[in-house]
Structure 1
Amino acid sequence: MSNTEADPSEVECRAAADTARVEVLTAREVPLGGPRAMRVRRTLPQRDRSLIGAWCFADHYGPDVVATAGGMDVAPHPHTGLQTVSWLFSGEIEHRDSLGSHAMVRPGELNLMTGGAGICHSEVSTRTTKVLHGVQLWVALPDAHRHTARAFEHYVPDEFALDGATAKVFLGTLAGKTSPVSTFMPLLGAELVLAPGTELLLEVDPSFEHGVLLDTGRLRLSDVELAPAELGYLASGAPCLRLANPGGTPARALLLGGTPFEEPILMWWNFVARTHDEIVAYREAWQARSERFGEVTGYTGEPARLPAPPLPPVTIKPRRNP
Structure 2
Amino acid sequence: MSNLDLRPAPTSCGGEAAGGPVRDLLTGRQVRLGESTVVRRLLPSLGRRMVGAWCFVDHYGPDDIADEPGMQVPPHPHMGLQTVSWLHRGEVLHRDSLGSLQTVRPYELGLMTSGRAISHSEESPRPHARYLHGAQLWVALPDAHRHTAPAFEYHPELPLVTAPGLRATVILGTLDTATSPGTTHTPLVGADLALTEGASPALPLVPEFEYAVLAMTGRIDVDGVPVEPGSLLYLGCGRRQLPLRAHSDASVLLLGGAPFEERIVMWWNFIGRTTEEIAEARTAWTTGDRFGEVHGYAGARLAAPELPDLPLKPRGRER
TM-score, length-scaled by structure 2: 0.89
Tell me, in whole angstroms, the C-alpha distance in 2 between the residues paired with 1:320 and 1:243.
Answer: 32
Corresponding position of 1:157: 158
1:321 Cα deviation after fit:
4.9
Structure 1 residue ranges, 4+ long, deviating more than 6 angstroms after superposition: none
Corresponding position of 2:145: 145
Opposite residue 50 of structure 2, the aligned amino acid is: L
1:44 Cα deviation after fit:
0.3
**1:1-322 superposed matches below 5 A:** 21-33=22-34, 36-127=35-126, 128-155=128-155, 156-245=157-246, 247=247, 249-290=248-289, 292-300=290-298, 302=299, 304-321=300-317
Tell me, in whole angstroms, the C-alpha distance in 2 between the residues paired with 1:41 and 1:182.
Answer: 26
Tell me, in whole angstroms, the C-alpha distance in 2 between the residues paired with 1:319 and 1:225.
Answer: 32
Q: Deviations over 1:149-207 (max 9, x none)?
A: 10111112144421221111111111311112211001101100111121111111111
1:268 Cα deviation after fit:
0.9
Opposite residue 140 of structure 2, the aligned amino acid is: A
Q: Deviations over 1:134-158 (max 9, x none)?
A: 0000000001111111011111214
1:37 Cα deviation after fit:
4.8
Q: Higher relative contact order by CA 8 Å / sep ≥ 6: 1 or 2?
A: 2
On the 8 A contact 1:186/1:259 being kept in 2, the answer is yes
On the 8 A contact 2:21/2:238 being kept in 1, the answer is no
Tell me, in whole angstroms, the C-alpha distance in 2 between the residues paired with 1:27 and 1:136.
Answer: 13
The structure whose Rg is larger is 1
1:242 Cα deviation after fit:
1.2
Instruction: List alignment gaps of at least 5 residues for structure 2.
Output: 1-19
Tell me, in whole angstroms, the C-alpha distance in 1 between the residues paired with 2:42 and 2:315.
Answer: 15
Higher mean alpha-carbon deviation, 81-90 vs 217-226, is at: 217-226
Corresponding position of 1:12: none
On the 8 A contact 2:40/2:59 being kept in 1, the answer is yes
Tell me, in whole angstroms, the C-alpha distance in 2 between the residues paired with 1:137 and 1:81.
Answer: 14
Instruction: List alignment gaps of at least 5 residues for structure 1.
Output: 1-18
Q: State the identity as a percent.
A: 53
Corresponding position of 1:6: none
Q: Describe the SS at the equivalent of 1:172.
A: strand
User: RMSD of the alignment, in Å?
Assistant: 1.7
